[in-house]
Structure 1
Amino acid sequence: MLDYFILCIAAFVAGLIDAVVGGGGLVLVPTLFSVFPNTAPATLLGTNKVASIMGTTASAVNYARTVRIRWSTAAPAAIAALLLSFLGAFTVTHIPTGLIRQSLPFVLVAVGAYTFMKKDFGQHHVPLLSGSKEKWMAVLVGAWAGFYDGVFGPGTGSFLVFAFVRLFGFDFLRASAVSKVVNIATNLAALTWLGYTGHVIWQLGILMAAFNIAGSLFGTKLAIRHGSGFVRRLFLVVISALVLKTGYDAFFR
C-alpha cells in the first residue's frame, strides 16, 4: 500500500512539473524503477506512458481554454512527431545510443546557459514565422522531437519548449502549451507500441494517471496565473536537474 501511495504522489508532482515545462519523467520514472526493481524496464516505461499521456492531454485542454494555441505550428509538429516516434523506437533496437547519452548533458548545459544569460528570453510573444515557413519548421521540430523521444527520451518536453521559444518567437507560456500537443503525439506512439507488445500494467497506469491529471491541472493553473517569468524559472530548475541526471547516467552509472 505504501508503494502505491508513493507512486501516486510522484505522479502528481510529475504532472505538475510536466504541465509547466516538461521533464515530469525525471520524477515518475525513477520512482517506478525504485518501487519495482525486478520489473522489466519496458513495462515500467509503458506504464509511465499511460499516466503521462492522460496528464499531458488534460494539461493541453486546460491550456487551450485560456491560452491561444497556435495550431498552425502545433498540428504539423504533432503529426511529424507521431510518425518519427515510431521510427525512433525502431532505430533504437538497431543502433548504439551511447554517443547520444554522453552528449546530452552538454547540450542541456548550453540550453540552460543560453536561457539564463538572455534575461528577456521567452518573456514576450512575438511569432517569427508564418505560412509555409512556419509549417515546415514545425515539421522539422516535431520530427526531431518524435525521433529523439523514440530513441532516447529524457528532456523531450523541455527541448520542445526551448525550440518553440528560440525558433518561433513564442513566450514560455505559449511554448509550453504548444509543446503539450506535440508531447501527446510522442506519448501516443510510444504507448501504442508498448501496449501492443504487452509492456503496460494498465491498472497501475490508470491509477497514476488520475494523480498525474490532478498535478497537470494544478501546474497549468500555476503557469497561467504566474505567466512566462514563472515558467522560465522552473524551466531553468528542470534543465539543471536534467543535466545532473543525464550526466550521472552517462558517465557514472
Structure 2
Amino acid sequence: MEDLTLTLILLLLAAGFMAGFVDSIAGGGGLIAVPALLLAGFTPVEALGTNKVQGLFGSGSATIAYARKGHVDLRSQLAPAVLSAAGAAIGALLATVVPGDVFRAVLPFLLIAIALYFAFKPNMNDLDRARRLSPFLFGLLVVPMIGLYDGVFGPGAGSFFMLAFVTLAGYGLLKATAHTKLLNFASNLGAFAVFAFVGAVSWKIGLMMGAAQFAGAQAGSRFAMKNGARIIKPLLVVTCVALAAKLLLD
C-alpha cells in the first residue's frame, strides 16, 4: 500500500506524532497508529509490521530522553532488553500460528483490571517501594513473557511492563515509565526483525510515521518528566480503558 493521497499521509503523520506522545508517557501508541494504518488501507499484517517500524522511533526517542535525565541506566538494563527482544521475536513467529482472537477476547478485561489498579491504589507516586521479585528473576521470567506477548499481539504491552515494574520491581511511576520505554524499544526491535524478514513492512510510510513519532515521544517524555505521577497515572488509566473499549467494540 504505497499509493496514498497527501491527505492520508498527513493524517498518518499526525497519528504517528500522537502515538509517540501518548506512548512515551503511558504506552498504548499502537491504539492510535494501527487503526490509522488499517483505515489507510493496509492489511492487518502490514499494519502490525509497519507499526513496529515507527514504534522503534517512538520508544527509542523516549528511551534516549529518559536516559539523558538519569531515569534509566542503559548498561544495567542491557540483559533484560535482550531478553525482551528475544521474547518478542519468538512471539512474532508464533503470530503466524496462534489466533489473535484468543488474546483479543481476554485482553480487554486485563486492561480494565490494570486501569482499576492504578486508579484506586493509594500512594501511587514517583517514590520507589519494596520489590517483590529480585532483578534477576524479574529479567529472566517477567520481561521475556511480556516481550513474547508484544510480538504475538502487541496492544497493551507497555501497560503490562508498567504494572510489572510497579508491583514486582517496586519502581515509582516515573522510573517505571522510563524503564518500560527501554524494554518496549527492545521488544519492538525483536518483532520488527521478524516482520521485516517476512516482508510485512511498508518502509516509506513506516519511516515517515517514525519521524513523526520520534518528535511526539520527545514532547511526551519531557512532559512526563516535568509532571511525574500526576500526569502518568491518569493518562495510564485513560489509555488502558480506551484500549479495552476499542477491543470490546471490535
With the length of structure 2 as denominator, give the TM-score of the two structures: 0.92
1:115 aligned partner, one-letter code: F
2:57 aligned partner, one-letter code: M
The one of 38, 56, 62 aligned to 1:33:
38
Whole-angstrom CA distance in 2 between matches of 1:114 and 1:72: 31
> What is the 5 A alignment of 1:19-58?
19-36=24-41, 39-58=42-61
Whole-angstrom CA distance in 1 between matches of 2:231 and 2:132: 25
**Aligned twin of 2:111:** 108
Whole-angstrom CA distance in 2 between matches of 1:189 and 1:46: 11
1:153 aligned partner, one-letter code: G
2:10 aligned partner, one-letter code: F
Tell me if structure 2 keeps the 8 A contact 1:81–1:182: yes
Tell me if structure 1 keeps the 8 A contact 2:89–2:193: no
Deviates more, 1:82-91 or 1:183-192: 82-91
Tell me if structure 2 keeps the 8 A contact 1:73–1:135: no
Whole-angstrom CA distance in 2 between matches of 1:144 and 1:203: 31
1:66-85, Cα deviation, whole Å (9 max, x unpaired): 13315587333222211111
- Change in Cα spacing, 1:216 to 1:188, as seen in structure 2 (3 Å) is same
1:34-72, Cα deviation, whole Å (9 max, x unpaired): 112xx3321222222111101111110000011331558
The one of 81, 95, 98 aligned to 2:98:
95
2:64 aligned partner, one-letter code: V
2:24 aligned partner, one-letter code: A
2:23 aligned partner, one-letter code: D
Where does structure 1 lack aligned partners over 5 or more consecutive residues? none
1:214-238, Cα deviation, whole Å (9 max, x unpaired): 1000001100000122111111110
- Over the aligned positions, Cα root-mean-square deviation in angstroms equals 1.8
Q: Do structure 1's residue 237 and structure 2's residue 238 form an aligned pair? A: yes
Q: Do structure 1's residue 83 and structure 2's residue 83 form an aligned pair? A: no
Whole-angstrom CA distance in 2 between matches of 1:52 and 1:122: 27
- How far has the Cα of 1:122 moved from its partner? 4.0
Deviates more, 1:59-68 or 1:211-220: 59-68
The one of 14, 23, 27 aligned to 1:18:
23
The one of 62, 66, 69 aligned to 1:63:
66
Whole-angstrom CA distance in 1 between matches of 2:37 and 2:184: 20
**Aligned twin of 1:3:** 8
Whole-angstrom CA distance in 2 between matches of 1:41 and 1:232: 31
- How far has the Cα of 1:17 moved from its partner? 0.4
**Aligned twin of 1:206:** 207
- How far has the Cα of 1:239 moved from its partner? 0.9
Q: Do structure 1's residue 193 and structure 2's residue 194 form an aligned pair? A: yes
Tell me if structure 2 keeps the 8 A contact 1:14–1:215: yes
Count of aligned positions: 245
**Regions of 4+ moved over 4 Å:** 70-73
**Aligned twin of 1:225:** 226
- Change in Cα spacing, 1:32 to 1:192, as seen in structure 2 (3 Å) is same
> What is the 5 A alignment of 1:141-180?
141-180=142-181
Where does structure 2 lack aligned partners over 5 or more consecutive residues? 1-5
Tell me if structure 2 keeps the 8 A contact 1:67–1:177: no
Tell me if structure 2 keeps the 8 A contact 1:223–1:231: yes
1:8-54, Cα deviation, whole Å (9 max, x unpaired): 11100000001011100111110111112xx3321222222111101
Equivalent pairs: percent with the same residue?
A: 34
Whole-angstrom CA distance in 1 between matches of 2:108 and 2:182: 25
1:197-253, Cα deviation, whole Å (9 max, x unpaired): 22211111111111101100000110000012211111111011011012223xxxx
Q: SS state of the match for residue 189, structure 1?
A: helix
**Aligned twin of 2:77:** 74
